[in-house]
Structures are given as C-alpha cells and as structure tokens.
Chains A and B, each alone.
Chain A
Amino acid sequence: MLAIEAASITKIYKGARQAALSDVSLKVEAGRIFTLLGRNGAGKTTFVRVCATQLMPTSGSISVLGYDVAKQAKQIRDLISVVPQEGRPLRALTSWDHVYNWLQIRGEGKQIAKDKTEEILRKLELYEARDRPAMNLSGGMKQKILVAMAMATDAQLLFLDEPTIGLDPMSRRQVWSAINDWKSKGGSILLTTHYMDEAEMLSDYIVIIDRGAVIARGTIQELRRVIPQNIRVDIARDGLDVDALRPYGSVVDTGAGMLRVFTFESAVRELSELALRKNLTFTVSPVTLDDVFVYLAGRGIGDDQNSSD
C-alpha cells in the first residue's frame, strides 16, 4: 500500500516567478520512513504542506493514504499528524498541557490521553519537566514538545518537517528512537531534514529535491552510487599541490583547510603514503550521503533560491 502517491505536482506561489515545486512525482510506501533532502528553498516544506492538506497544489494530483488531498482532505486529516517547520509551543503551557489536551482534541478519552502523554513524555525525556511552562524550557525541549504532540497521536502518517532542528545530540537520538518505534508499529513517516546523519540513520528511501524538482531518488546504497568512486580521503591542504591529487580521482576543496579526494580502494595506499611523506593529517572513509548531497545539490550554490520553501 502507498502512503503517498504524487503525480506531476506543481506549486507556484502567488506572485512568484519560479515554481516552488515543478512536476514532482513520487511514491511513498506505507510503513516506511521517507526522507526529503534539499537545500533551503528547494521545495521540501512546500511538498510536505501540500501532502498534509495545508496547501493546495497549483496542478497535479496527490493521494495520501488512498484519499485525494484536494477533494478528501477531511478523511486525510483524521489519519495524519504534523510537526511544522519552525513551530513553537504556547509559552504559558507545559509539555503535559500540550500533549494531553491535544490528544483529547483529537478525540482520545481522558485515561488514554493521560497514558499516552506519560509514555511519550518519558520517551522524549520531557516527563521530569512536565509541569514547567514552555517559556522556561530550552529551545530543544520546546521543539521536543511539538514532536511529542505529533507522535502521541494514533495517526497513520507523520509529517516531520525538520523535527530535530536545534536539538542536542542526545535529544536527537531520543527523537530518532521515537521515530523508529513509530515505524515498528507500522506507521509511515515523511521526514525532511538538513542533517545527513539523521537521513542515513532513519531513511528507508530518500528523494533529493533541488529548485522544486526531484534530482535523485533511491535507497542510501543506491544514492551512494551516484558518485562513481566509493572512498573519500581527506588530506590537510598545507602546501599540497591540488594537481598532484587529480590522478587519484575527483578533488574537492572542503573549505576547512582540507582537500577531499573521491577515489577507489586501490588508490588509498598511495594517497596515504603521499600524505605521510609530507607529514599531513589524513582520514579515509566511505562516501557518505553528505558527499552525495553536496555532489548533487551543491552545484550552483549562491544562485537565486526560491524563498517559498
């Protein structure tokens, strides 16, 4: 079964010169974590908002959990839950107030709402601070309240638009754990993130969007193959001639005093010896999703971006 099926979705905001989404077609299988990656303004949030019945597309069709977003929004809204990008909890309300009342608003009885609230607050380590108003909580804890509100529901499909933004590494892992628990219960998730490690850790399938169009899609393994080489070697730049590295593969300046060479296992030994001879630090690792992302979406950085993401 498909959680989302989008066919030729285009979205042009009123007064915009450029389409925020241009002829986007994709399928999200139920029970999986589907991640949208893209630069700021790429169209990720626009796509999420269209699917979550918050925004009408200009053209094309989307069905969410078998219902048409344009004509059957009411049916979809019973089955979904969202964490909006840059959302904030209400200042005077506690995490308990938010989750417990939200569950009741969605139709849960008091006892079930109470149990579910306690469970999610414990899972996200918000329980100890359950009586503190949001205005007295850290930015990360505030963000976790929004995640808790969405994940405490019995929705079938979650839309998480940059849910871990501003969270410390431990909090991010708590959210990841909650996301995986959700998936293990059969739930589907559409996730957007700027964190490549998060995408690698969680995603079953990834779509990379750039300037409103899909530029790559696949599993992590499939996307890694976008870069012909499978190994990356980072070498300190100090006095090193870039041309001396070119025979080994593609060379990229990381901008942090390091040169990155995408290469194959066969060249690693020679590159290592080169670095050692010149007494330069170096690291060797497999090509990551981050490399793929920069390789695909990094072209044209600094060009005009769509401000309607």
Chain B
Amino acid sequence: MCLYTLQEEALEMTRIAVTSMLPVRQAFLIAYMTGVLWLRRNPMSLVFTAISPFSLLFVLFVISGGGYVVPAVVGSLVMALVGYGLALGQDISFYKTEYKVQDVFVASPVSPLTYMMGLALSELLFGLPALIVLTSLVMLFGASVFSIPLLIATILLIWGSMSAMGFFLSSRMLHMRNATQVISFVNVILAILPPVFYSIDRVPDILRPLAYAMPTTHASLILQHIMGKGTPGEWSLGFGFAVLIAYLIGFVALAKTKAIWREN
C-alpha cells in the first residue's frame, strides 16, 4: 500500500515536472520548426539576414575613415537587436494572415507567450552570425572578458523587450502590409532617432529626458560603458539596466495581457 502511494506520488511529480517544462519544450520546438528546419533548407537566408546590420556600420566606417568605429559598432549591434526583435512581428503577421498558423496554435495547448518565445528564438537564430560578428567587434574595440555577462544581459534584455513589442504590435495588425509599415516606423523611432549611433552629448538638453525614455539609448550607453568609453555623469550602469529590465517587464506584460490572441 505504502509502495503504491509512493509510486503514485512519483508519477504525479513527474507529471507536474513534465507539464511545467512543456512551454519551454514547445518554444524550442517552434523555434526548431520555423528556424532550424527553414535554415537547413534555405541556408542563404542566413547570409541575407546577416548582412543587413552591417550597412550603416560600413557607411559610417568609410565616411569617418575608421574614426567613428566604436559608435558605429554600438549602434549597429543595438539596431540589429531591435530589428531581430521587431522582425518577429512581421513573421507573426505573416504566419497569421497568410498561413493561418496562428489559428492552429490558438486552438491548441500553446500559450501566446510560448508562441512568441518560439518565434523570437527563431529570429535570434537568423541573426546569430551578425550578432556573433558584432559582439566580437565590441570585444575587439575595448570590452574586457569580464564584461561579457553585461554584454549578454544587454543583448537579451533589448532582444526580449523588442520581441514582446513586435508580438504586441503584430497581433493588432489585420494585414501583413500594415505590420511591415508600423514595424519600420517603430524601428526608426527606436534605433535611428535616439542616441544609438551617436553620443547623447549631441542631444539638446531639452530633449534629453526623451532620449533617456528610450530603451535603446540605455542599451547603447551600456555598450559604450563596456567598451571603456565615457558616459554622461547623470547616467549610471545600474540606471541603464533598471530601465532595460523595466521595459522588458512592461512589454512582456503588454504582450501577455493586451496582445490579441483570440480575436474579438
């Protein structure tokens, strides 16, 4: 009797363990289907995705004769992360409107956040070569080995928050074209206008609070700090991470509660 009870308890605990791990497994399987399997049969996609983040880096490097390389590397890395995060929105919109994939997932035991996580991982996979090169450049131009955890944390925070934002935005778009337009607009607002490719010193005092309200400004400042470049006196590493964490929590909460999964 006692043995039977123990066996029952063990089975129940295994069931709970399996159930609680299922969303993680689901996310990796979604990433495998939409990322790994796709790339295995379309390896050139990796090349096309990898090249785009280097366009501005190349232009700035050539124009400045190499003198502006640090801000250019920092800006390119932040812009790439914003791009990969927001690209999730385009993918989701595409799967939803063209393939009706989202309809299948909605009517299944997959939660919206798991679906988002799976596709975000898939996007990250596409961007991996560019991210590896850009992070290597960050290391090459001044970052120490000890700053690697900070670098990884920054990458994950900005990628996570942008992915959640992409998911939220795309869920509210009825057509693929709308999603592309809105996401391009948001990309400019987050990655081009704020001091991502240039120093925050160049932002007029009156606009600085606005610049500090952007998560990408802090990502850029953290990377500059990691690379040993000067940062403004009113800014600190802790403040930068606090803003990025707040954005991540905020956007994930927005995606969880306000993104449209079941339509109204």
Contact = CB atoms under 8 A, between A and B. Distances in A.
Interface of A: 14, 49, 52-56, 73-74, 77-78, 80-82, 84-90, 92-93, 97-98, 101, 104-107, 133, 146, 149-150, 159
B41 interface: yes
Contact of B107 (A14, A52, A85, A92): A52
Nearest to B108: A77
Given A56-B263, A105-B26, A90 B34 contact: yes
A192 B57 CA distance: 54
Nearest to B25: A104
A84 B108 contact: no
Given A78-B109, A80-B107, A106-B108, A53 B42 contact: no
Contacts of B262: 53-56, 73
Contacts of A82: 103-104, 107-108
Interface of B: 18, 22, 25-26, 29-30, 32-34, 37-38, 41-42, 98-101, 103-104, 106-110, 262-264
Contacts of B33: 90, 93, 97-98, 101
A83 B264 CA distance: 20
B25 A88 contact: no
Contacts, number: 85
Contacts of B38: 90, 92-93
A88 B109 contact: no
Nearest to A80: B107
A80 B106 CA distance: 11
B103 A92 contact: no
Contacts of B30: 105
A143 B33 CA distance: 18
Given A56-B264, A77-B109, A107-B109, A84 B29 contact: no
B99 A54 contact: no
A199 to B, nearest CB: 23
Contacts of B18: 107
Given A93-B33, A105-B30, A107-B22, A53 B106 contact: yes
B101 A87 contact: yes
Contacts of B263: 49, 54-56
Contacts of B106: 52-54, 77
B264 A92 contact: no
Nearest to A75: B109
Contacts of B101: 87, 90
27 contacts: A14-B264, A52-B103, A54-B106, A54-B107, A55-B264, A74-B109, A77-B106, A77-B108, A82-B104, A82-B107, A84-B104, A86-B100, A88-B99, A92-B38, A93-B33, A93-B38, A97-B33, A97-B37, A101-B29, A101-B33, A105-B25, A105-B29, A105-B30, A105-B108, A107-B22, A146-B104, A159-B107
